[in-house]
Amino acid sequence: MDEISNTTPSNFIREIIEDDIKTGKHTKIHTRFPPEPNGYLHIGHAKAICLSFGIARDYNGLCNLRFDDTNPVKEDVEYVDSIQEDVHWLGFDWDDRMYYASDYFDRMYEFAVQLIKNGKAYIDSSSAEEIKNAKGTLTEPGIESPHRNRPIEESLKLFEEMKEGKYEEGEYVLRAKINMASPNMHMRDPLVYRIKKATHHNTGDKWCIYPMYDYAHPLSDWIEGITHSLCTLEFEIHRPLYDWFLQALNLENLPRQIEFARLNLSYTIMSKRKLLELVQEGYVSGWDDPRMPTICGLRRRGYTPESIRNFADRIGVAKRDATTDVALLEHSIRADLNKRAPRVMAILHPLKVIITNYPDGKTEELETINNPEDESMGLRKIPFSKEIYIEKDDFQEIPHKKFHRLFPGSEVRLKSAYIIKCNEVVKNEMGEIDELLCTYDPETKSGSGSTRSVKGTIHWVSAQHSVKAEVRLYDRLFLSEDPSSDEDKDFKELINPHSLEILKNCLIEPELVKAKAGEKFQFIRTGYFCVDPLSTDEKLVFNRTVSLRDTWAKIEMKK
């Protein structure tokens, strides 16, 4: 595993933890990350992972991976596998502490029996409809169920029979006996167990009653000895219930739930349900489509674990919800790749240039630097010959005022090679430009000490030595800054129709043929790119991770 930075800035949760260590409340910090295996992890989960695993790392504690699989119908092993892969890839590990909430179903059942015995829970035979109607509102108290004072013995018997499958779904439920007049709706005798005749991916058909999340979560935390249970703000209102269950069972060494603001990213959708919709309806090629905000999508796009961890550190942990500019995420990968990605030459829109005074059949091996940011990355050779390709938009037949690249009569430096001059534009019958005829100045070879300088430098590849590749240019998947804001509008109407552009006839320098899946490069002057995992020797495919500069910022400025 790669080296992990330990430079996470402090935040209110870390302060609580430091305090708990100082006062001796805890000697060993124990956190957990509890995904529900009903989808792939996304960048929001990455924030939660970096927080809980990062705290364990920095305070010499432990962090468990726990699959929250209390709902039998939505879960899938595909998700269980992908979640493990993604957490590992981010650079974190749970050793032998991978658990399922369903591992604790037996104990949870016993605890529920205990709740009934303690007079803290009862079997209700009201229908779902009746329970709902008796809930009350924010301004009115609820109405106590007629079964609320059912004798303990009777509830115990019914609960056991529920477990044995004697009843149908909805006939009975187990409810906590709390307070139907509580201003917190979650405290108005919430459900603890319901009958569900479903096969569970882990426990099969052993159970036909399943615990509710609000009950299963504190107990799972307690069973695992979690000290700090970190979750997002929507659970704040559930916290009294979290604490109530543990206290009603007279347990000790209680975990503490602390809530933090979830990550919202501009131009991004994070709801698993909506992401699934994009996948199932074919708007993207899969969960790992490089435009998806999923961890596997970001990985395929060329993001590094370091860049995501740095991003998580940088956005920090707050107590109030806000939206983070996606440009910050893009900045973090740019900063990371700037340090480590070798610079190479690739032509996305080729325009042929013939250097008329260069000897036929000659090839020169020119030297170029791999990364000006990191000299230790050394030099490499690039072949130069009479016919080369440059980028179409590095030439203008009628140049606009500040254009310092190639136009008829102008001179430009070819990166790490020579200065060339454009003498003639050759067109086809349609009047389109076919090629440029140029001459080079042999005295201007880069690194030879030539003092002649020109205003523009452009990149190029040797025609004969270059290799064809497909390049996929990705842009933001949504045109709207907040694609979820308008509830009446289908979020899919806000998809950016130009979020993927495929260029099939790009030309890359021969060095790149050796590149392996996932390898990352800076294509000089165009952006950061990586080799797609499905790239083959016959068909090389590169994904654009990010452009060199934030082009959206410019568009925003103009607006």
Examine the residue annotation and report whether 262 is marked as an active-site residue of this protein. Answer: yes
Task: Kindly give the pairing relationship between strand 500-508 and strand 433-441.
Answer: unpaired
Among 40, 44, 80, 103, binds ligand ATP (CB under 6 A): 44
Residue with smaller CB distance to ligand ATP, 49 or 121: 49
Could you give the angle at which helices 105-117 and 213-223 cross, rounded to 10 degrees? Answer: 110
* Comparison of 322 and 553: residue with beta carbon closer to ligand ATP: 322
Pick from 202, 232, 338, 371 the residue near ligand ATP by CB under 6 A: 232
Options 272, 291, 309, 413, the catalytic residue: 272
Dihedral of CA 170/176/181/185: which sign? negative
Residue of 14, 21, 36, 130 interacting with ligand ATP (CB under 6 A) = 36
d(CA 244, CA 535): 54
For every residue of 37-66, DSSP letters joined together read: SSS--BHHHHHHHHHHHHHHHHTT-EEEEE
Positions in 71-130 near ligand ATP (CB under 6 A): none
65 is a contact residue toward ligand ATP (CB under 6 A): no
Q: Quote the least distance from Cβ 345 to ligand ATP, whole Å.
A: 39
Contact 189, 177 (CB under 8 A): yes
**Residues in contact with ligand ATP, total (CB under 6 A)?**
14
Nearer to ligand ATP, 38 or 446 (CB): 38
Which region, judged by CB under 6 A, interacts with ligand ATP, from 32-40, 120-128, 139-147, 248-256?
32-40
Q: CA-CA distance, 313 to 47, in Å (whole number)?
A: 9
The residue assigned the tokens 């523009």 is: 456
Nearer to ligand ATP, 36 or 373 (CB): 36
Which range in 19-27, 42-50, 138-146, 165-173 contacts ligand ATP by CB under 6 A?
A: 42-50
Say what the alpha-carbon torsion angle 464, 470, 473, 478 is, to the nearest 10 degrees.
170
Q: Contact with ligand ATP (CB under 6 A): which of 48, 90, 366, 436? A: 48
Q: Site for ligand ATP (CB under 6 A): which residue of 112, 174, 231, 258? A: 231
Q: List phi, psi (to 5°) of 322.
A: -155, 175
28 annotated active-site: no
Distance CA 267, CA 256 (A): 34
Q: How far apart are CA 41 and CA 325, in angstroms?
A: 20
Question: Residue 438 is inside which H or E element, if any?
Answer: strand 433-441
DSSP 388: E
Q: How far apart are CA 486 and CA 471, in angstroms?
A: 34
The residue among 226 and 351 lying less far from ligand ATP, judged by its C-beta, is 226
Question: Which one of 13, 29, 45, 308 is in contact with ligand ATP (CB under 6 A)?
Answer: 45
3-state secondary structure of 428: coil
Q: Given the rule CB under 6 A, which of 43-51, 330-338, 356-364, 425-433 is the region that contacts ligand ATP?
A: 43-51
- Where are the strands (E) in 39-172, listed by range? 62-67, 98-100, 121-124
**Nearest to ligand ATP of 174, 315 (CB atom):** 315
Of 47, 200, 239, 291, which lies in the binding site for ligand ATP, with binding defined by CB under 6 A? 47
Task: Pick the catalytic residue from 97, 262, 274, 340.
Answer: 262
State in angstroms the smallest separation of the CB of 336 from ligand ATP. 21
- C-beta separation of 255 from 229 below 8 A: yes
Distance CA 213, CA 411 (A): 70
Least Å from the CB of residue 515 to ligand ATP: 33
H-run or E-run covering 162: helix 152-163
Contacts (CB under 6 A) with ligand ATP, residues 256-285:
262-263, 270, 272
Tokens of 431: 């009047």
Which of these segments, 38-46, 345-353, 379-387, 417-425, binds ligand ATP (CB under 6 A)? 38-46
Q: Could you say whether residue 236 binds ligand ATP (CB under 6 A)?
A: no
Q: Mark whether 3 is an active-site residue.
A: no
Distances in whole angstroms, Cα of residue 426 to Cα of each of 437, 441, 462: 7, 21, 19
Q: Could you give the CA distance from residue 263 to residue 288 in angstroms, rounded to a whole number?
A: 20
Residue nearest to ligand ATP (CB): 44
Of 31-39, 198-206, 312-320, 490-498, the window that binds ligand ATP (rule: CB under 6 A) is 31-39
Q: Which residues bind ligand ATP (CB under 6 A)?
A: 34-36, 38, 44-45, 47-48, 231-232, 262-263, 270, 272
Catalytic residues: 36, 262, 272
